[in-house]
A and B are shown apart, each in its own frame.
Chain A
Amino acid sequence: MVLPRFECLAPKTLEEVSQLLVALGSGAILMAGGTDIIPPMKDRAIKPDYIIDIKGIPGLDKIEYDEKEGLKIGSLVKLFDIQTSELIHKVNPSIAQGAKYIASTQVRHKATMTGNICAAVPSCDTGPILVAQNAKLLIHGAEKNRELLVKDLFTSVKKTCLEHDEIVTAIVIPPLAENEYAATINFTVRKAMDLAIVGTGAWLQMDGEVVKDARIALGAVAATPIRAYSAEKALIGRKLTDEVLDEVSIAAMNDSHPISDVRASAEYRKDMVRVFVKRVIKKALQGYEGDHI
């Protein structure tokens, strides 16, 4: 296979990375797992002059949990390790499920969750669950560091608001309290190696039988992963009956703006938003106990 001719650099610190990004300009791209940059290079969609391989930077490959801060997943942690992490299964299994949706076992042994969301495809598999749980990114820049909610990362198809000198160092997902629940369901035709026709993520905060707060996120039904705000509004403060769920799911359907493409029609996607928003809310309350992830 033919890839464009580029030079490969392997910095050892975050500072070096930012310096290189500034110095080399738009002809330089970052590479962690590489699984989202090699195919577009082969297809001649991108032609970088430099690839900055960040795998040599220490300290970015840890999964940590703190009861106050939550789950911190370093940018170099491989999706397979997220999928199979006992810690994640215990504290926030929907994150493990979200990771598992991506591609195949081989890809997950190389690719990263950070890479998945920074690629910013409309159907990015981990987008919905990270947006629904208000996950944030820790970002290192040449001049300053900052934090950014995942939901604010995406600006358009395959575009993020990251500055050129910035590199994401970790994803932080807030802890789930006793009365908080989260789930993700990505609807695919094949059970592996398939992009979502519709992606869903739900986070609920319950007060007895009443939904005190809720966030519902959708993937593959707009230019970026989105929040279904009118669905959330229809849900908050109400009891979860079948009628309420129907109302919420229709509201979510109206929040989405899918297109028709080779994978599915807009009409089908819209109806699947309705179906899967109901299912993901139920799944959040049901939980993942005993599930094989």
Chain B
Amino acid sequence: MKKVISFVLNSDPVDILIEEHKALVDVLRDDLNLTGIKKGCEAGECGACTVILDSRPINSCLTLAIEVHGHEVTTIEGIAKNGKLSPLQQQFIDKWAFQCGYCTPGMIMSATALLDRNPHPTEIEIREAIEGNLCRCTGYQKIVEAVMAAAAEMDWEATDEQK
């Protein structure tokens, strides 16, 4: 059956007709053309499809599209504001924290959610935040360095819910 869902997507309100049995990852990628979100396993085991749902990082392949009705979704496409890369995205570039780039959107989403909640994470907290994001290229070291550098550089304001 088809239903209309309304939600906020990357700060913009969206109304879209979906089929109830569709996964969020497919609606975002195929119907809303947000192909920055990647598919690596379609089973919640790799994190390539990570998006932020109301401040929480989740696997969009383990989410039905209908579940986001009335909620707020942020994807990799919504991280840069007015064309300006976030400090974390810039650190990914400066620290050479990606190679093939396929896991990168998911990594940035998990790390962004972490920094929003915990502006000064330790290394172990960073690794735990990205434990669900598999990377086959980098060995994770420069990704961790990029997140630490972004945390050190910016005065992140933790949102009230996480305080």
Question: When chains A and B are docked, how far (Å) is the Cα of A105 from the Cα of B124?
Answer: 13
Interface residues of B in 119-137 (CB under 8 A from A): 124, 128-132
Question: When chains A and B are docked, how far (Å) is the Cα of A16 from the Cα of B61?
Answer: 28
**Chain B positions within 8 Å of A5 at CB level:** 19-21
**Chain A positions within 8 Å of B19 at CB level:** 5
Size category, B interface: 20 to 34
**Chain B positions within 8 Å of A4 at CB level:** 21
Q: Does A263 contact B (CB under 8 A)?
A: no
Size category, A interface: 20 to 34
Q: Which of B63, B66, B110 contacts A105 (CB 8 A)?
A: B110
Give B163 Cβ to nearest chain A Cβ, in Å: 12
Complex interface: stretch among A106-114, A140-148, A176-184, A220-228: A106-114
By the criterion CB–CB under 8 Å, are B56 and A109 in contact? yes
Question: When chains A and B are docked, how far (Å) is the Cα of A106 from the Cα of B50?
Answer: 8
By the criterion CB–CB under 8 Å, are A193 and B56 in contact? no
Interface residues of A in 72-95 (CB under 8 A from B): 78, 80
**Chain A positions within 8 Å of B43 at CB level:** 39, 42
**Chain A positions within 8 Å of B57 at CB level:** 105-106, 109
Q: Does B100 contact A (CB under 8 A)?
A: no
Question: When chains A and B are docked, how far (Å) is the Cα of A47 from the Cα of B33?
Answer: 29
Q: Does B146 contact A (CB under 8 A)?
A: no
Q: From A7, A103, A105, A106, name the one whose CB has the most chain B CB atoms within 10 angstroms.
A: A106
Interface residues of B in 48-66 (CB under 8 A from A): 50, 53, 56-59, 61-64, 66
Q: Does A262 contact B (CB under 8 A)?
A: no
Question: When chains A and B are docked, how far (Å) is the Cα of A191 from the Cα of B124?
Answer: 12
Q: From A6, A7, A38, A42, name the one whose CB has the most chain B CB atoms within 10 angstroms.
A: A38
Question: When chains A and B are docked, how far (Å) is the Cα of A3 from the Cα of B62?
Answer: 11
By the criterion CB–CB under 8 Å, are A38 and B110 in contact? no
Of all chain B residues, the one with the shortest Cβ separation from A48 is B21
Question: When chains A and B are docked, how far (Å) is the Cα of A39 from the Cα of B61?
Answer: 9
Q: From A8, A78, A104, A110, name the one whose CB has the most chain B CB atoms within 10 angstroms.
A: A104
**Chain A positions within 8 Å of B47 at CB level:** 104, 106
Given contacts A39-B43, A110-B56, A292-B124, whether A3 and B22 have CB atoms under 8 Å apart is yes
Given contacts A34-B67, A55-B67, whether A193 and B22 have CB atoms under 8 Å apart is no
Give A157 Cβ to nearest chain B Cβ, in Å: 20
**Chain A positions within 8 Å of B128 at CB level:** 105, 192
Given contacts A53-B67, A110-B62, A193-B132, whether A6 and B44 have CB atoms under 8 Å apart is no
| Nearest 10 interchain pairs by C-beta | A104-B132, A192-B131, A109-B56, A1-B42, A106-B132, A8-B20, A3-B21, A35-B62, A106-B59, A110-B58
**Chain B interface residues (CB < 8 Å from chain A):** 1, 3, 19-23, 25-26, 39, 42-45, 47, 50, 53, 56-59, 61-64, 66-67, 110, 124, 128-132
Q: List 21 A-B contacts (CB under 8 A).
A: A3-B22, A4-B21, A6-B21, A7-B20, A8-B64, A34-B63, A39-B43, A51-B64, A53-B67, A105-B110, A105-B131, A105-B132, A106-B59, A106-B132, A107-B59, A107-B132, A109-B53, A109-B56, A109-B58, A110-B53, A110-B63
